[in-house]
Amino acid sequence: MDKKTNKNKFSSHIFEFRSVEKRKLVLSLMITLIVMFLEIFGGLITFSIALISDAGHMFTHAFALGISLLAIFIARKPPCHHKTFGLYRAEVLAAFINGLFLLPIVGLIIYEAIMRFLFPQEIIGLYMFIIAFVGLGVNITSIIILYGSQNANLNIKSVFYHMIADAASSIGIVVVAIIITFTSWNFLDPLVSIGISIVILYWAWGILKESTRILLEMAPKGLDINIIEGDLKNNFKEVLNLQNTHLWTITPNIRVFSTHVFLKNIENKVDKENLVFEINKFLFKDYNIIESTIQIALKDEFKTC
């Protein structure tokens, strides 16, 4: 199977996978919106800032899901003469926007929590518990729906981590609601809100760092050109040296590679076309690089390159 066939097979798989993702995201969006309005209503009648903050987090989920759905729609547009890699990176941009959007949300939640410390309010713990428990059930449902897609797509990963963080915050709210019901320790409500904010901030930083790495066209995490260059020289004895090597990603699962390969002077008996084919096949098999550009030169040609 040649590289072009591999790429076509990969593209077909990508489009099929995106269709599955879209259905999962639509279902998760519907569930998230229902719970968001439920928590807003519950927070207003129970005077719980934790519920309101969790509803704010739910809004960011709905926003993230909407952005992710839009990105999937855009990314399905095929490559053309001026979009040679297609628009796959729209999904990475969506993940970056989702992560960035969380930062002001965190600031707002922390501000409201501090105000509650300064001006405490009575909280109806039982209602807070019931609504938070329903929210936890919905978060777990969304996690189950999205599970399995998060490892292959940064866009889905950003939403999936949203759900994990929100499930953790819902657990915290449930526990706090029980304690408040029996002890009236209302200070725990803003305290758990700050804890939720820290979880959200940690998640946002991870997604921002990973998406920025891709947008700046850095090498994939855990991999660099020295590793691949050494591997190529060890596996292809004709190779003397490699220069101008570049490795980057369009999305986390679409890796691109280019290099100039200088051959040992062995009286020009190297089948260059076959060597390029074998290198491409090696890169695809060992490093999942689906797009590689190899320029071959003999040692004598080194000075002209």
Q: Does pLDDT of 286 surpass 80? A: yes
Domain boundary among the residues 215, 237, 253 is at 215
Tally of structural domains, the chain:
2
Residue 173 lies in a domain: yes
Q: Mean pLDDT score of the chain, rounded to an integer?
A: 77
d(C-alpha 279, C-alpha 143), whole Å: 40
Long-range contacts for 111-118 (Cβ within 8 Å, ≥24 apart)?
A: 112/49, 112/52, 112/53, 112/190, 112/193, 113/49, 113/53, 113/190, 113/191, 113/193, 113/194, 113/197, 114/190, 116/49, 116/189, 116/190, 116/193, 117/187, 117/190
Range with the lowest mean pLDDT among 11-15, 42-46, 145-149, 213-217?
11-15
- Where in the sequence is the domain holding 207, given as residue range(s)? 3-215
The DSSP element (H or E) to which 82 belongs, if any, is none
Domain boundary among the residues 169, 187, 215 is at 215
Q: Model confidence at 304, in pLDDT bands (50, 70, 90)?
A: very low
Find the CATH number of the domain harbouring 180: 1.20.1510.10
In the structure encoding, which two tokens stand for residue 244, read together? Answer: 């101008």
Q: Do 107 and 210 belong together in one domain?
A: yes
In the structure encoding, which two tokens stand for residue 280, read together? Answer: 């491409």
Q: Does pLDDT of 283 surpass 90? A: yes
d(C-alpha 277, C-alpha 4), whole Å: 11
Give me the mean pLDDT over the 190-218 stretch: 83
Q: Do 231 and 204 belong together in one domain?
A: no
Residue 220 lies in a domain: no
User: Do residues 75 and 91 touch, judged by C-beta distance below 8 A?
Assistant: yes
Domain boundary among the residues 197, 215, 233 is at 215
SS3 52: helix
The residues, any chain, with a CB within 8 Å of residue 70's CB and separated by 6 or more, are: 90, 94
d(C-alpha 241, C-alpha 232), whole Å: 9
Q: Does pLDDT of 55 surpass 70? A: yes
Residue 139 lies in a domain: yes
pLDDT in tens, 167-199: 777 777 788 888 887 887 878 878 877 887 887
Q: Whole-model pTM?
A: 0.67
Residue 76 lies in a domain: yes
Q: Do 200 and 126 belong together in one domain?
A: yes
Please classify residue 39 by burial: count the beta carbons closer than 10 Å to its beta carbon, then call 0-12 exposed, 13-18 middle and 19+ buried.
buried
Residue showing tokens 């003469």: 81
In the structure encoding, which two tokens stand for residue 46, read together? Answer: 């129970």
The residues, any chain, with a CB within 8 Å of residue 53's CB and separated by 6 or more, are: 109, 112, 113, 193, 196, 197
d(C-alpha 189, C-alpha 172), whole Å: 10
Residue 38 lies in a domain: yes
In the structure encoding, which two tokens stand for residue 261, read together? Answer: 């390969």
Q: Do 109 and 72 belong together in one domain?
A: yes
The residues, any chain, with a CB within 8 Å of residue 183's CB and separated by 6 or more, are: none
Give me the mean pLDDT over the 107-112 stretch: 82
Find the CATH number of the domain harbouring 241: 3.30.70.1350
Predicted pLDDT of residue 15: 46
Q: Does pLDDT of 56 surpass 80? A: no
